[in-house]
Structure 1
């Protein structure tokens, strides 16, 4: 939501569209990372990521919080 607010309000302060677009994409990526890793871990105890093994294959890793 910060990226959307920045995109709407940034035209008032910055006239360069490229800078606005780059910052908006960065804020969107940051928002996705926070929701995926921080919020997911705190709210439901889940986290996931992708690794490439030695054979070049994509392997998904899922991690869950212990229910003790």
Structure 2
């Protein structure tokens, strides 16, 4: 399985856009410089009052499909 490490700093207000249906995907640069896009809904379990902050490991299949996201 392939993986990337990303650092996220998404405010609670920015993440609210997901609940309003304005945002479907998160697009971010991984630490190695690659751009990655994944469904914003996959981050719901990490949302706090301040939003989403921290480093995350994104695992994906050889076909490029999201398998798992975990906080580091």
Q: What TM-score bracket applies, with the shorter chain setting the length? A: under 0.3
| Relative contact order, higher structure (CA 8 A, sep 6+) | 2
Give the TM-score normalised by the residue count of structure 2.
0.25
Task: Report the TM-score when normalising by structure 1.
Answer: 0.26
More strand, by proportion: 2
More helix by proportion, 1 or 2? 1
Choose 1 or 2 for highest CA Rg.
1
